[in-house]
Structure 1
Amino acid sequence: MKTRLQILSLLLLCAAIPAAAQNEQSPILIQRTVPVLGFTPPIPVSLEGFTGVAARVLNFDLYVQGFIVVPPAQAQYHIRGTDAVNVSGTVALANHTILARSYAGGNTRAQAHAFANDIVQAITGKLGISLLRGSVARIVFKAQAANGNGKIYVSDFDGANAQAVTAEDTIVAAPVWTPDRLAIYYTSYQLGNPDVFYHDLTTGRRRVVAGFSGLNTSASVSPDGTRVAMILSKSGSPNVWVCDANGSHWKQLTDTAGYDSSPCWSPDGRWICFATEIRGRRELAKVPASGGQLEIVRTPGAPNPTDPAWSPDGKWIAFTCQMGEFDICVMPANGSAPPMVLVRGQHPSWAPNSRTLIFNRPSGGYEQTLSVLDVFTKHVKDIPRISGSDSEAEWAE
């Protein structure tokens, strides 16, 4: 994790392609206003005709995007279909069909994800999270054994099709995607020191980007993929540094006396938000990515903040706070309202829709489980654990 504990201890699949669409009309949208840090009731839908994998995928995808499956008599929208050969289905509102789709290519799981994406867009007018650039949405995370060593994995966002991308039995942490989703950065003790590696997922080749004496960790890639922020202790205290994507042209952005952690970029690439220590207290702060004056990001009522994550639309900052236990909090990025504590857990990462988070929470003993949270309904679904303790997930954008 990118929290203080980590710093101290650390010191795919093609998606289905719509084959046909018939009787498809403009969506009838139900306006659902979301007050600042307010919550909305889930959209009730019925789901009929689907079995096995298709039913499970549709239930999962819809639940973590603000829907709830209810009996037909209680539903506002009616989803009917089949997965007998390929996935196909319709969505109706008041006997009016607003979506009719059938899918070919890929397997049943991919087709069901594609249908879920289309359902979300038909009902809400917004893009779903199930697909990203034509493929099932992916996450990267670490799976850790009881001895503290682990591996970096990539998988679909619901945990399916997981693959280990590292093989060494060593401490690993803080994996993040490049914007093109073709590579990742992560921290590894493979060479006996916490170093930041760049790992090409296409070729399997990797190289050290930051291997300075001391701490090198918590890489965060700029939205355009050209720069990387990370935490280095090469000048003394762990501070925020930036470099070009290939590990050149280093620049120190902070020079705090305590320790900094968990840098993340604003979606416009102008700011870097991070956790720091000021007068003995943990705080969130931000600094211009080109260098400049540090600004405190107040989190009233949410002490000991860390792990900030800026939403892709720029409106929200999610983070971990600690009030005895670790909790996931969300607040407006402009500070117009205090944070709202949502659920027990750590290490939030936003989906591209800026309303769904993936995070990890305790599941017994040392183990952590990845979970998906719809912020505005507080719907939470756990992802099946891959190996040991799964944590520090990042959503591909």
Structure 2
Amino acid sequence: MKKIVLIAALAALWATGLRAAPVIEVDKAGAEKLAIAVNVADPVFKKTLTRNLTLSGAFKLTAQAPIEVSGAADSPIVAKGRGKKLTFPAPTGDEKARRMLAREFSDRLCEVYARQKGFAAAPLAFVNKNGKAGELCTGYADGADVRRLTRDGKASVGPRWKDAHTLFYTGYLNEAPQIFEIDTRTGARKLRWHFRGLTTGAVISPDATAVALVLSVHGNPELYVIDPVSSTWRRLTKTPKANEGQPAWSPDGKKIVYVSDETRRQHLYIVDAATKATRRITTQGTQNVDPDWGPDGRIAYVSKRAGGRQIAVIDPFEGDRTARLVTKPGNWEHPTWAPDGRHLAAESDGVLYLIDTEEGGDAPRQLFKLPGRVITPSWSK
């Protein structure tokens, strides 16, 4: 049986082959959208804004519309319509700075007009595997301003955001798996934790007081929590004949969803971080892995069913009788929630896509066009 520690980041990292060419389409009628016209003189700002408004799923771009965004050269950007007005400073600085301003404006338009949180300005972390090694990168959903954080020629897997500017990830810089912390602005890096055996899967709690991770210091891979300041740790699971992995915190920081092969099949379980009480939440499919707990309380994960792996969304308190499949069968892996609680970024065959989980929403859209494979995404919340 394949070990749980290999089912996600490591399996994706060492998989062979290149990227899939076509986008995977899902038949959808199309959710209702707000018509918006963008007439902005600055070409960099306009291109970035229109791309992000399209990705948001809330707007459709038209030449004339009830909502109009305008801005002459060197003038403020103004959105008017539906009884509302929104003003942003004139785009200045280099192209990167103007793209960032456009992302922030896109998010404000989502909040003001669509009453949903935007995700344009929230960076994505991922691994770009171009050759034998996988290097850690960040970028934005519009595909621009990708930055490579590591150039080690060694495996980097499982990035997870510690805060707005810092990542935890598992690195093999010293051959054995170790947890590193890296500043995405400066590239400064430090070793955080290294235990005997496996050390991987570090993910911080919403209140930043605890880190869940997977260790095999006592034998098989088990789930632990560690204090990020004192590094004192506490074991949450004890399943000598099983392997645990892939932890993700609930929005309130009281519970952790994780994967276990306790029944000889990989399924999702929830553990109470205080009491250690556990319960299984999936029964459908032959394999359920890669969970991510969203801001609205839903869990996204990959479910292996007839025809291939699909992304499912579940209410963890209702069980997988409420599970809704949001993709067609394929080779889907590693869904990560966007800040809006509606969209996911997920990988299929080394290509990263934006997934709209709303019924009648948009078909999957490719996010980055980079050489090699783009895998194990993590969206900053």
Aligned partner letter, 2:347? N
What does residue 98 of structure 1 align with? 84
TM-score, normalization by structure 2: 0.83
How far apart in 1 are the matches of 2:150 and 2:301?
Answer: 27
Q: Which residue pairs with 2:118 in the alignment?
A: 128
The DSSP-based 3-state class of the residue aligned with 1:335 is coil
Structure 2 equivalent of residue 143 of structure 1: 128
Cα offset, 1:253, TM superposition? 0.9
Instruction: Measure how far apart 1:371 and its partner are.
Output: 1.9
The match for 2:58 is: 67
Mapped partners of 1:246, 1:54: distance in 2: 41
Equivalences for 1:109-188 in 2 at 5 Å? 109-130=99-120, 136-147=121-132, 149-179=133-163, 181-188=164-171
| 2:161 aligned partner, one-letter code | W
Of 385-394 and 64-73, more deviation after overlay is shown by 64-73
Identity of aligned residues (%): 24
Q: What secondary structure, in the 3-state scheme, does the structure 1 residue paired with 2:45 have?
A: helix
C-alpha separation in 2, matches of 1:162 and 1:379: 24
Maintained 8 Å contact 1:64/1:374:
no
Preserved CA contact (<8 Å) 2:12 2:375: no
Q: How many pairs align? A: 352
Following the alignment from structure 1 to structure 2, what is the Cα–Cα distance between the partners of residues 251 and 68?
47
CA distance in 2, matches of 1:56, 1:9: 33
| 1:292 has 2:260 as partner | no
8 Å CA contact 2:302–2:309 kept in 1: the answer is yes
Amino acid at match of 1:290: A
Alpha-carbon distance change, 229 to 379 in structure 1, aligned in 2, over 3 angstroms = same
Partner of 2:32: 42
User: Is this contact kept in 2: 1:143–1:389, CA < 8 A?
Assistant: yes
Equivalence map 1:306-385=2 (5 Å): 306-313=289-296, 315-323=297-305, 324-335=307-318, 337-343=321-327, 344=330, 345-362=332-349, 368-376=350-358, 377-385=361-369
**Which secondary structure state, in structure 2, belongs to the residue aligned with residue 236 of structure 1?**
coil
Q: Structure 1 235/174 Cα, relative in aligned 2: closer, same or farther at 3 Å? A: same
Q: Is 1:208 aligned to residue 191 of structure 2?
A: yes
How far apart are residue 176 of structure 1 and its match?
0.9
What's the offset of the Cα at 1:294? Answer: 1.4
Unaligned runs of 5+ in 2: 15-27
* Structure 2 residue 218 is the aligned partner of structure 1 residue 235: yes
How far apart are 1:197 and its partner, in Å?
Answer: 1.4
More strand by share: 1
**TM-aligned CA deviation for residue 118 of structure 1:** 2.2
Instruction: State the Cα distance separating 1:214 from its structure 2 match.
Output: 2.0
Deviation for aligned residue 1:213 = 2.6
TM-score by length of 1: 0.80
1:4 equivalent to 2:3? Answer: no
Separation (CA, whole Å) in 2 of partners of 1:236 and 1:169: 29
CA-CA distance at 1:341 after TM superposition: 1.3
Larger RCO (alpha carbons 8 Å, 6+ apart): 2
Partner of 1:84: 73
- Name the CA distance, whole Å, in 2 between partners of 1:2 and 1:159: 30
